[in-house]
Structure 1
Amino acid sequence: MKRTFASSVKRPLVAAASLLPLAASAQIANADFESWSANGPDSWTTIDSGITVSQSNSLTYSGNAAAAIDVLTGAQSDTDFRQSVDVEAGKSYEFSVWVYHTEGNLAARIYVDGYHNYSSEALTGQWQKLSYSYTASTSKTIEVGLRFYDQTGFDGVERVYIDNFSPAVSGGTGNGCSQSSGTFSLTTDNYGSETSWQITDSSNQQVISGSGYASNTTTETPVCLADGDYTLTVSDSYGDGICCSYGSGQYSLSVAGQTLASGGQFGAQDVTAFSVGSAGGGGSDLSGYYSSADGLTGFALKTELYNIIRGHSTQSYSDLWTFYQSYGDDKYYENDGSILDFYSENPTGNDPYNFTAGADQCGSYSGEGDCYNREHAFPRSWFGGAVAPMNTDVHHVFSTDGYVNGRRSSYPYGEVGSASYVSLNGSRLGNAASGLGYSGTVFEPIDAFKGDVARAYFYMATRYEPSIGGWQYNSSYGDAVLDGSDAQVFESWFLTMLKQWHAQDPVSQAERDRNDAAYSFQGNRNPFVDHPELVSEIWGN
């Protein structure tokens, strides 16, 4: 990478903007580029011959305008863009600017009484923050701005957008975000190009994302979010996270002054569900059925939820067939009245087979499609066998293909690395994926139902709080999942995975309807279907 250093001696201005008095106390004038005259952006006093500057109203970091800088030369000594500010002896200042690269063949370098940090030129198509901390040795006037350096591939002209220098003169537009503003900060490891991230809303629509990062660099991306529920997914394409085997990468998401997510050690993905504004302002607004839990957080909240949902009406094992006949039909995918089965449903196409409620109950089976039965998502061997009320609690007992249910057996749910069996809808059995935190055999449902499974487990951890801590050694597979406590309940690897599944697969209408039906059937509800945000309020992000 070419980064040569030219003399900082200034020449006569080629195109000077209109001059204003020096800004006091290192305050940069027209820092947000909202004020322009015929010669360019007001208050910017040095614009060298190797660049041209124009107003951009279509691509801005905030407000109505940014500066579009076209770099026309590889002679970086002709590319300075500056203004003068006053600083006071002994005071420290944090200077920064937002930069947007279009092609990635030149780097921006911040100038604060000298040349300092570079932008990440490989980070194109998104805003990044370039900053430098400066302490004044004496009271004086200094220059602040940018210089541009050609990189491999520079073809003689490239555009860079800049906006929102800081600190700014009072009265500027600020960050221009009329909703909740924040920053996603990322430090990459030795393989920055493997890292990407995105924030999606409650409809699973992408709001903002980032990729194409350089290695061992720190970038900050502005975030502006309306009130609501969101999911942050940080991905590593190699599957070993961004810390700590090959560098010390890390990330953090802060919104409205609160850190909502952070990390670095994970496998292929780190997923965090979070809420912004009134949706996440210090706890859920619980009323009605959940009113006694209003204002609580952490495990105290979990205990009160237990008090609310305990004592449901225990049904018989045969009553589950009746529930499936009344409430288990597919009204959401094919809408054909067949049994909705996690292990055979194909959400994006035709199902490989269908079951008719009542007529196709197991019985015996020899292969997929023979019959459906009653699948304990939380295996009953883990809680001691056919023990009431767990054995017939419909919040975790689902109608599924009998053969696939048998292949799942009582293995833990997990993410499969190498599969020994794949069902016709893509559910998999096999060795756990590298980085999961568990090395045994696991069963992985398709993505469309992972959240359903996770919320069933959070329900079990809450509904059976007084006893679940004693189930750890009922089964070796249960021991791999349960940590022997009545608070966290799950081993860390499994809890992390459940929270990821919960975030990746938000509550569906099918789940809401089933929750209502379960309430009619046995008299209690799954709080994590009604209020998905309770997962993070109890178990954290």
Structure 2
Amino acid sequence: MRFVVALLLFAAGPALAQEPPATFSAAKKYLADLHEDIGHMETLYCGCPYSRTTTSGGDVDRDACGLTARSNETRSDRVEWEHVVPASWFGQTRACWILKDAVYPECAGKSGRDCCEKVNEHFDLAHNDPNNLFPSSGEVNGDRSNYPYGEVDGEPRQYGVCNFEMGPGPEGKIAEPPEGKIRGTLARAMLYMSEVYGADVKLPLDIVWRWHMENPPEAWEIERAKRIAEETGLQNNWILGR
């Protein structure tokens, strides 16, 4: 698979000469560098500024954005990299996720996710794709987990000023992102993952499309997508066009 990707990148021209990140750690470091380079060091859901303090992480300035920790102050202060389309959504139907070491002896003792990262290069490419990863407050990232997006009944506020909500939806627990530009960013990541990897985004596509159309990309999102396309060959056409 890596060989095929390399051939595709070579055929696309010299601007796409680099390969995608080979590991999740490499993807996080790459994005930490990129966000620093383009001057967009804000968390995904709450728009909190953060300062980089490690290879791929940093400290969230919760006072600057009014973010309140729901229960875990330490994790709320920490930058983590959020999969907009969670790994389980494009991994849980694979043999490496379900059967693990029953099929792959080298996966003994590993979780489904870890097994797929080890033995399935298509999963690995999707898992490490920078187009699907954004900085988030760690606690918000953990609370969102792999719950789908939607509209929560009522207005449960657990994170201070940040209008990110977790609560009941028509078919179970859901995460409701703040209204506005963030929904467009999420929509374009979901459309990309659906188109490129066949991922189930667990939200009706008419809603995803509406979020995309009502909230066009801002300058930072366009610059980020351009850099990712140029440096990894992974182009989000929902941002950059075809």
TM range (shorter): 0.5 to 0.7
Map of 1:521 onto structure 2: 231
Question: Which of 352, 355, 358 is matched with 2:50 structurally?
Answer: 355
Measured after TM superposition, the shift of residue 338 of structure 1 is: 6.7
AA partner of residue 321 (structure 1): K
Question: Which of 187, 191, 194 is matched with 1:458 structurally?
Answer: 191
How do 1:157-196 residues align onto structure 2 when only pairs under 5 Å count? none
Work out whether 1:342 is the aligned partner of 2:44.
yes
Map of 1:449 onto structure 2: 182
Map of 2:205 onto structure 1: 495
Cα deviation digits, residues 149-207 of structure 1 (max 9, x gap): xxxxxxxxxxxxxxxxxxxxxxxxxxxxxxxxxxxxxxxxxxxxxxxxxxxxxxxxxxx
Map of 1:405 onto structure 2: 141
1-structure distance, mates of 2:30, 2:21: 13
Corresponding residue SS for 1:356: strand
Work out whether 1:323 is the aligned partner of 2:30.
yes
Larger Rg: 1
Measured after TM superposition, the shift of residue 319 of structure 1 is: 1.4
How do 1:474-485 residues align onto structure 2 when only pairs under 5 Å count? 481=202
2-structure distance, mates of 1:374, 1:316: 13
2-structure distance, mates of 1:420, 1:362: 28
1-structure distance, mates of 2:36, 2:151: 28
Map of 2:6 onto structure 1: none
Q: Relative to structure 1, is the Cα distance of residues 329 and 414 closer, same or farther in structure 2, using a 3 angstrom cutoff? A: farther
Measured after TM superposition, the shift of residue 330 of structure 1 is: 8.9
How do 1:72-151 residues align onto structure 2 when only pairs under 5 Å count? none
Work out whether 1:530 is the aligned partner of 2:236.
no
1-structure distance, mates of 2:184, 2:40: 22
Map of 2:167 onto structure 1: 430
The answer (yes or no) to whether the contact 1:452–1:511 under 8 Å persists in 2 is yes
1-structure distance, mates of 2:58, 2:126: 21
Measured after TM superposition, the shift of residue 412 of structure 1 is: 0.2
1-structure distance, mates of 2:79, 2:27: 12
2-structure distance, mates of 1:509, 1:419: 31
Measured after TM superposition, the shift of residue 362 of structure 1 is: 7.0
- Select the structure that is richer in helix: 2
1-structure distance, mates of 2:29, 2:222: 19
AA partner of residue 458 (structure 1): L
Q: Relative to structure 1, is the Cα distance of residues 338 and 522 closer, same or farther in structure 2, using a 3 angstrom cutoff? A: closer
The answer (yes or no) to whether the contact 2:76–2:140 under 8 Å persists in 1 is no
2-structure distance, mates of 1:420, 1:381: 26
Q: Relative to structure 1, is the Cα distance of residues 422 and 375 closer, same or farther in structure 2, using a 3 angstrom cutoff? A: same
Map of 2:88 onto structure 1: 381
2-structure distance, mates of 1:453, 1:400: 13
1-structure distance, mates of 2:219, 2:129: 20
User: RMSD over aligned Cα, in angstroms?
Assistant: 3.0
Corresponding residue SS for 1:395: helix
Q: Relative to structure 1, is the Cα distance of residues 330 and 442 closer, same or farther in structure 2, using a 3 angstrom cutoff? A: farther
Measured after TM superposition, the shift of residue 494 of structure 1 is: 1.7
The answer (yes or no) to whether the contact 1:330–1:339 under 8 Å persists in 2 is no
Which 5+ residue runs of structure 2 have no aligned equivalent?
1-15, 60-70, 92-112, 118-123
Measured after TM superposition, the shift of residue 457 of structure 1 is: 0.8
How do 1:272-351 residues align onto structure 2 when only pairs under 5 Å count? 313-329=20-36, 337=39, 339-345=41-47, 351=48
2-structure distance, mates of 1:524, 1:315: 13
The answer (yes or no) to whether the contact 2:52–2:58 under 8 Å persists in 1 is no
Cα deviation digits, residues 58-104 of structure 1 (max 9, x gap): xxxxxxxxxxxxxxxxxxxxxxxxxxxxxxxxxxxxxxxxxxxxxxx
Measured after TM superposition, the shift of residue 356 of structure 1 is: 1.1
2-structure distance, mates of 1:329, 1:313: 19
The answer (yes or no) to whether the contact 1:418–1:431 under 8 Å persists in 2 is no
Which 5+ residue runs of structure 1 have no aligned equivalent?
1-308, 332-336, 346-350, 433-437, 473-477, 482-492, 535-541
Work out whether 1:396 is the aligned partner of 2:106.
no
The answer (yes or no) to whether the contact 2:20–2:233 under 8 Å persists in 1 is yes
Measured after TM superposition, the shift of residue 366 of structure 1 is: 2.3
The answer (yes or no) to whether the contact 1:395–1:518 under 8 Å persists in 2 is yes
The answer (yes or no) to whether the contact 1:455–1:529 under 8 Å persists in 2 is yes
Map of 1:504 onto structure 2: 214
Cα deviation digits, residues 496-523 of structure 1 (max 9, x gap): 2101111121121111111012123321
1-structure distance, mates of 2:136, 2:175: 14
Q: Which runs of 4+ in 1 moved over 6 A?
A: none
The answer (yes or no) to whether the contact 2:157–2:163 under 8 Å persists in 1 is no
Measured after TM superposition, the shift of residue 396 of structure 1 is: 0.5
1-structure distance, mates of 2:196, 2:222: 18
Work out whether 1:440 is the aligned partner of 2:172.
yes
The answer (yes or no) to whether the contact 2:84–2:189 under 8 Å persists in 1 is yes
The answer (yes or no) to whether the contact 1:415–1:443 under 8 Å persists in 2 is yes
AA partner of residue 138 (structure 2): G
Work out whether 1:366 is the aligned partner of 2:72.
yes
AA partner of residue 504 (structure 1): E
Q: Give the aligned length.
A: 183
Measured after TM superposition, the shift of residue 369 of structure 1 is: 4.1
AA partner of residue 162 (structure 2): N
Measured after TM superposition, the shift of residue 415 of structure 1 is: 1.8
Q: Relative to structure 1, is the Cα distance of residues 330 and 421 closer, same or farther in structure 2, using a 3 angstrom cutoff? A: farther
Structure of higher RCO (CA pairs closer than 8 Å, 6+ residues apart)? 2
1-structure distance, mates of 2:189, 2:84: 8
TM-score, scaled relative to structure 2: 0.65
